[in-house]
């Protein structure tokens, strides 16, 4: 009970939650909450079925992309070992940096180092930023002439920083010079080294050839949910096109991705609201559209991921037991060697006297 209270009152949980609540309160007070509520009900009633399938498409395409990126890093967990951390990460995605929860859970399910798998997650976020910037460059925001040049500048800047960090020896040289004596700092250095090595592998044309189309698919699915909602609420009274929905969604998402301390919940709605207002859409319709998008999209994601975790409850239990062992003083953790053990075990015949890697036996230490 004490541990649960410590988690609930952790500033990293309280502050984002309060900020999300404040942003949502602002959005609701900005418009007529009664009319917005009626619009949300109407949108949910008319758009829930296509939105459900689009949200499932989002989850499927994003899962495939993560698996491809992990594979390029030499991490090839089984589907159950992959689905548990992926579902957990998607459910925590509304918190700042919450998507990295999947890397922590992957450490428990497949034994991969957090720093290495975090490189795959980070490059997924980078490709998301790239797709959003490309959408803003292609379509722009009417009346905001600064959007296109700023998006182009950020795109070029991202490439330049990528070349500097991952195509030169700058970071590796600094890591070679930094040799801390404290165990905690040694672990930090090891995690950074894993992340840099993984990013070096992913900073290639292969990553973008596979990643950009898949990212366009799953972000396009989210934008299409907003378009479907707009067809219910906005289209009957004024012009509404898929490009309008794509631009509004891309602008709202890129703000959160570029400022990762902001919570998804609330920040996306506030930034997207500004674009819809610039299109001449009324306050009530703009607020109702983005809140309906949140309900239909995030609601479906939480529902589907929750069902996945329920179906894989045994794998969830194994994952958390492994993570719990790693957190105990004097207990050995679950290192990358365990992952190799799992791969070897799949190739060998089952032996009655053999001790499986995924049981409660002590895993070999990474040290």
Kindly report, residue by residue over 282-292, the tens digit of the pLDDT: 999 999 999 99
State the average pLDDT for the chain.
82
Predicted confidence (pLDDT) at residue 165 exceeds the cutoff of 90 = no
- Mean of pLDDT values over 114-122: 89
Q: Is residue 225 part of a domain?
A: yes
Q: Is residue 359 part of a domain?
A: no
Give the count of beta carbons closer than 10 Å to the beta carbon of residue 275: 24
pLDDT digits (tens, 9 = 90+) for 307-321: 999 999 999 999 888
Residue 66, domain extent: 2-335
In degrees and rounded to multiples of 5, residue 98 shows phi and psi of -65, -20
Predicted confidence (pLDDT) at residue 213 exceeds the cutoff of 50 = yes
Q: Is residue 48 part of a domain?
A: yes
Return the SS3 of 153: helix
> Taking CA 294 as the corner, what is the angle to CA 19 and CA 84, rounded to the nearest 5 degrees?
90
Distance CA 241, CA 227 (A): 7
Q: Is residue 110 part of a domain?
A: yes
| The pLDDT of residue 4 | 46
Q: Is residue 345 part of a domain?
A: no
- Mean of pLDDT values over 203-210: 84
| The pLDDT of residue 327 | 63
Q: Is residue 344 part of a domain?
A: no
Q: What percent of the chain has pLDDT over 90?
A: 46
Q: What is the pTM of this model?
A: 0.82
* Domains: count for the chain: 1
Q: Is residue 101 part of a domain?
A: yes
pLDDT digits (tens, 9 = 90+) for 46-76: 999 999 999 999 999 999 999 999 999 989 8
């Amino acid at each position: 009970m004490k541990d649960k209270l410590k988690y609930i009152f952790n500033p990293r949980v309280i502050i984002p939650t309060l900020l999300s609540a404040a942003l949502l309160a602002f959005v609701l007070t900005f418009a007529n909450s009664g009319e917005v509520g009626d619009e949300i009900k109407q949108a949910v009633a008319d758009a829930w079925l296509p939105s459900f399938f689009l949200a499932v498409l989002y989850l499927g395409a994003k899962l495939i992309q993560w698996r491809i990126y992990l594979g390029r890093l030499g991490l090839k967990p089984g589907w159950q070992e992959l689905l548990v951390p992926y579902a957990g990460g998607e459910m925590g995605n509304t918190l700042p940096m919450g998507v990295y929860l999947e890397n922590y859970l992957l450490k428990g399910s497949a034994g991969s180092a957090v720093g290495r798998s975090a490189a795959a997650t980070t490059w997924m976020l980078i490709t998301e930023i790239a797709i959003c910037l490309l959408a803003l460059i292609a379509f722009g925001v009417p009346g905001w002439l600064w959007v296109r040049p700023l998006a182009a500048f950020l795109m070029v800047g991202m490439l330049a920083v990528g070349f500097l960090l991952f195509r030169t020896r700058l970071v590796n040289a600094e890591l070679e010079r930094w040799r801390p004596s404290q165990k905690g700092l040694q672990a930090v250095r090891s995690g950074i080294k894993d992340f840099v090595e993984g990013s070096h592998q992913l900073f290639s044309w292969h990553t973008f050839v596979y990643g950009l189309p898949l990212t366009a698919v799953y972000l396009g699915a989210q934008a299409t949910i907003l378009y479907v909602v707009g067809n219910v609420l906005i289209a009957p009274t004024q012009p509404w096109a898929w490009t309008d929905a794509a631009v509004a969604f891309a602008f709202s998402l890129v703000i959160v991705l570029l400022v990762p301390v902001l919570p998804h919940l609330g920040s996306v709605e506030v930034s997207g609201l500004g674009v819809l207002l610039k299109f001449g859409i009324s306050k009530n319709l703009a607020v109702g559209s983005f809140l309906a998008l949140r309900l239909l999209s995030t609601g479906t994601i939480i529902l589907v991921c929750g069902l996945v975790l329920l179906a894989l409850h045994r794998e969830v239990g194994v994952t958390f037991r492994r993570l719990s062992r790693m957190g105990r003083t004097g207990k050995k953790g679950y290192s990358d060697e365990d992952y190799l053990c799992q791969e070897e075990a799949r190739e060998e015949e089952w032996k009655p006297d053999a001790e499986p890697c995924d049981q409660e036996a002590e895993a070999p230490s990474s040290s």
